[in-house]
Amino acid sequence: MKEKYDVVIIGSGMGGLVAANIMAREGLSVCVLEKNNQFGGNLQTFVRDRTIFDTGVHYIGGLAPGQNLYRYFDYPGILEGLHLKKMNRDGFDIITFDNDEVAYPHAQGYDNFIDQLAKQFPQERKAIESYCKKLREICHKFPLYNLEEGKPYGNDPELFQQSAKDYIDSITQNEKLRAVLAGSNLLYAGDPDKTPLYVHALSINSYIESAYRCADGGSQITKLLVRRLKENGGEVYKHSEVTHMTCVDRKLESVTIKDGRKVTGDIFISNIEPKHTLRMIGEEHFRKSYNRRIQDMESIISAFSIHIVLKPKTFKYLNKNYYHFKDYRKVWDAHKYTEETWPETYMVSMGVRKNQDEWGEQLTAITYMRYEEVKEWENTFNTVAQTSDRGKSYEEFKSYKTELFLRELEKKFPNIRECIQSVYASTPYPIGII
């Protein structure tokens, strides 16, 4: 590691690595610092019983030529090496509800999306059409989303005010259709009072354009981004947690890594949680109002996941995700669960292999969980680099929640228990501790 770079990037998530690639291709000297043992942040994978699981990214959208993510991946030159599996054209996401046998599809391609949903809601074709038109209109207003010049977040102040729930409610009186259109809101932890329509639009549009799984996990994206970065002279370091940032004359001058090393730079990009960034720089270097705005930002609700290794040849591979809700009238409120009602919703996604046959190897199910539920263990660790015993109470908590979750899954997949070879759970973690 050199002492000085043109650009220092903190965090090797997708954002940090793409930024690093762009800067390195422009001829700048770039250094990416990552605290963990694996690069990629939420693109990391892990292995249980020789089976690969994704931590975050389970499917990606907009990867056909000309579409949003295609262009972002084309520029650093990682498209060619990617092994992708296109999800079901007529239903990549399936929205379902308790006490309703119908599987409501979100299909790929806008015309197809309308046709497939109109089969279930023939009276509502016009509402579905105007929903699709609106999503595309909104996405066109974000220059950065389309890799065009202009203000990154667009010029239209109304865009930031319209709520996703209010808009969806305004286009139809049909409560089931409203629930279906909002059905994948676990993707962005949708909240009826807070989630703007543009967040919904930017998330959903790319999947409707085209939806894919990464064969053998999303970490292949990381590997390719790191490889291309190095080819362009960039550097990337693991086990390099930034713990302090030093300002001189109101200019950020260097960052300090946990082991004491200092890295100086002209430009710094922090690809980590903003509150944490401000604390490391020192709040005195920012305007009070700015500090308050950042510190007052509420963290969104977290997730509890179970990762199931399936017995060989017992459970068919599903080339689609399920988003399930107990109550279709509560799609925007499923995060307001109580101990008795948890889990009120879940998403099920299956990993795919490069040589995928008809049988699935693994399945992940994700639901909401508030961080407070695991707060008592907040000073414990479980990473490759560091582990501390979380004790029996933590294991009991996980087993109890896993059992409750499995009981819900059994309602949709009645034979699932017989197919389980082993099951692992992951609980929410606070930013910066893991």
How would you classify the pairing of strands 211-214 and 60-61?
antiparallel
Window 364-393: residues binding ligand FAD (CB under 6 A):
366
Q: Report whether 316 contacts 359 (CB < 8 A).
A: yes
Beta carbon of residue 69, minimum distance to ligand FAD (angstroms, whole number): 8
Structure token pair of residue 111: 């015309």
Verify binding: residue 59, ligand FAD, rule CB under 6 A.
yes
Q: Which is nearer to ligand FAD, 243 or 393 (CB)?
A: 243
User: For residues 233 and 28, what is the distance between their CA atoms, to the nearest angstrom?
Assistant: 9
**Given the complex with ligand FAD, which of 96 and 426 has the nearer CB atom?**
426
Indicate the DSSP class of residue 145. G
- Are 139 and 205 in contact by the 8 Å Cβ rule? The answer is yes
Contact mark string toward ligand FAD, 240..259, x via CB under 6 A? -xx-----------------
Select the span of 11-19, 137-145, 151-159, 369-377 touching ligand FAD (CB under 6 A): 11-19
- Antiparallel, parallel or unpaired: β 235-237 and 30-33: parallel
Hey, what amino acid is at 99?
A: N
Is residue 416 part of the contact set for ligand FAD (CB under 6 A)? no
Using rule CB under 6 A, residue 272 touches ligand FAD: yes
Work out whether 57 is an interface residue with ligand FAD (CB under 6 A): yes
The DSSP-derived string for 223-275 is HHHHHHHHHTT-EEESS--EEEEEEETTEEEEEEETTS-EEEEEEEEE-S-HH
Q: Are 241 and 432 in contact (CB under 8 A)?
A: no
Residue choice 9, 197, 211, 303 for contact with ligand FAD (CB under 6 A): 303
Cβ neighbours of 392 (radius 10 Å): 8
Nearer to ligand FAD, 152 or 414 (CB): 152
Q: Give the integer Cα–Cα distance in Å for 343 and 346.
A: 7
Choose the stretch contacting ligand FAD; rule: CB under 6 A; options: 53-61, 78-86, 110-118, 414-422.
Answer: 53-61
> Whole-number minimum distance, CB 57 to ligand FAD, in Å?
4
Which of these segments, 36-44, 85-93, 176-184, 384-392, binds ligand FAD (CB under 6 A)?
36-44
Q: Which is nearer to ligand FAD, 242 or 352 (CB)?
A: 242
- In whole angstroms, the minimum distance from the beta carbon of 47 to ligand FAD comes to 17
Closer residue to ligand FAD (CB): 171 or 224: 224
What is the Cα–Cα distance from 37 to 372, expressed in whole angstroms? 27
Considering only residues 7, 8, 13, 183, which one is a binding residue for ligand FAD as defined by CB under 6 A?
13
| Residue choice 56, 77, 154, 430 for contact with ligand FAD (CB under 6 A) | 56
Distances (CA, A) of 300 to 195, 203, 271: 11, 16, 18
Taking CB under 6 A as the binding criterion, the range among 52-60, 168-176, 380-388, 412-420 that sits at the site for ligand FAD is 52-60
Cβ 418 to ligand FAD, closest distance in Å? 27
Shortest reach from residue 408's CB to ligand FAD, in Å: 18
Q: Which stretch binds ligand FAD (CB under 6 A): 35-43, 85-93, 149-157, 175-183?
A: 35-43
Three-state DSSP class for residue 94? strand
CB of 243 to ligand FAD, least distance (A): 7
CB of 376 to ligand FAD, least distance (A): 22
Residues 6+ apart with CB under 8 A from 239: 34, 35, 36, 37, 385
Distance of alpha carbon 95 from alpha carbon 183, whole angstroms: 6
- Give the shortest CB-93-to-ligand FAD separation in angstroms: 10
The b-or-e profile of 322-351 (16+ CB within 10 A means b, else e) is bbbbbebebbbebbebeeeebbbbbbbbbb
Do the beta carbons of residue 208 and residue 69 sit within 8 Å? no
Element spanning 421, H or E: strand 420-426
The single residue among 8, 33, 211, 224 that binds ligand FAD, judged by CB under 6 A, is 33
Taking CB under 6 A as the criterion, the residue among 23, 41, 171, 429 binding ligand FAD is 41
Least distance from ligand FAD to the Cβ atom of residue 68, Å: 11
Nearest alpha-carbon partner for 88 in 420, 316, 366: 316
- Is residue 11 a contact point for ligand FAD (CB under 6 A)? yes
- Tell me how far apart the alpha carbons of residues 3 and 5 are, in angstroms, rounded to a whole number: 7
Q: HSE-up of 83 (CA within 13 Å, CB side)?
A: 12
Across the strands, what pairs with 48? 51
Please identify which residue in the block is written with the tokens 């010029």: 155
Residues constituting the chain: 434
Q: How many residues bind ligand FAD (CB under 6 A)?
A: 26
CB of 186 to ligand FAD, least distance (A): 9
- For position 16 contacting ligand FAD by CB under 6 A, the verdict is yes
Query: Which of 5, 7, 8, 12 is in the footprint of ligand FAD by CB under 6 A?
Result: 12
* Residues contacting 167, CB < 8 A, separation 6+: 134, 197
Residues that bind ligand FAD (CB under 6 A): 10-16, 33-36, 41-43, 56-60, 241-242, 271-272, 303, 366, 432
